[in-house]
Amino acid sequence: MTRAELDKQPHEVAAMFDDVAARYDLTNDLLSMGQDRRWRKAVVRAVDARPGQRILDLAAGTGTSSEPFAAAGADVVPCDFSLGMLAVGKERRPDLPFTAGDATALPFADNSFDAVTISFGLRNVVDTAAALREMLRVTRPGGRLVVCEFSRPVLAPFRVVYVEYLMKALPPIARTVASNPDAYVYLAESIRAWPDQAELAGLIGEAGWASPGWRNLSGGIVALHRGTKRF
């Protein structure tokens, strides 16, 4: 069983997700106590995909984050570098064009998507800035970015309880359900080390996106960051 370290070596990250692929969606639902469904609906509203628009769902994994865009009539391309996650996705949704690709060197043309979104993926990419620049490159001028990622709870007392949950309760729960429990130790550690809302908005702006901003979900457990590509 493989787990990645906080230096996020791509071969370790991909192998870790290969290991969790079989029970990924079930484990997510359990560990987030069903909150992930609410967060996903908020992503779909923020992306506001229209029929016929081309949407890149980067780090799409098994395609759970891609499905609502297809349901809205958009042409969604789920892209990920874990072949294990892609295989589970393709079996479940053979109609979606699952594509193998690395977020830091995307296999797509410049200006080829109306919107690019990434859910619970950016934190795992070895080079955040490179991924944000690649997402900008493949988005058309005027197109939009939506990043959904774990963030920093706003209220200090809740933050303390939440970090306790992440570091102490989550790994034992994961041991009972996940196909690779060590991956969930990485999950807790990587959330704790991830930039807060303002820092991530800064990175998005530095990568060249206009008007970076965010909205907190579940008190800041998750944040939705947005940006647009300048004309």
Ligand X SMILES: C[S@@+](CC[C@H](N)C(=O)[O-])C[C@H]1O[C@@H](n2cnc3c(N)ncnc32)[C@H](O)[C@@H]1O
- For residue 120, what are the contacts with CB-CB under 8 A and spacing of at least 6? 59, 65, 148, 149, 150
Applying CB under 6 A, which part among 97-105, 195-203, 209-217, 223-231 lies near ligand X?
97-105
153 scored as a contact of ligand X (CB under 6 A): no
Cα radius of gyration (the chain): 16
- For residue 165, what are the contacts with CB-CB under 8 A and spacing of at least 6? none
For residue 155, the minimal CB distance to ligand X (Å) is: 25
Inter-residue contact 88 to 28 (CB < 8 Å): no
59 scored as a contact of ligand X (CB under 6 A): yes
Task: Select 66 or 157, whichever has its Cβ closest to ligand X.
Answer: 66
17 scored as a contact of ligand X (CB under 6 A): yes
146 scored as a contact of ligand X (CB under 6 A): no
Virtual CA dihedral for 113, 79, 109, 146, nearest 10 degrees?
Answer: 40
Give the max Cα distance, the chain: 50
14 scored as a contact of ligand X (CB under 6 A): yes
Other CB atoms closer than 10 Å to residue 46's CB: what's the count?
19
120 scored as a contact of ligand X (CB under 6 A): yes
For residue 86, the minimal CB distance to ligand X (Å) is: 8
The residue type of 70 is: A
81 scored as a contact of ligand X (CB under 6 A): yes
What number of chain residues touch ligand X (CB under 6 A)?
Answer: 21
For residue 102, the minimal CB distance to ligand X (Å) is: 4
Interface pick for ligand X out of 19, 67, 102, 134 (rule CB under 6 A): 102
Inter-residue contact 210 to 142 (CB < 8 Å): no
182 scored as a contact of ligand X (CB under 6 A): no
Contact positions toward ligand X, by CB under 6 A?
Answer: 10, 13-14, 17, 59-61, 64-65, 80-82, 85, 102-104, 119-121, 124-125
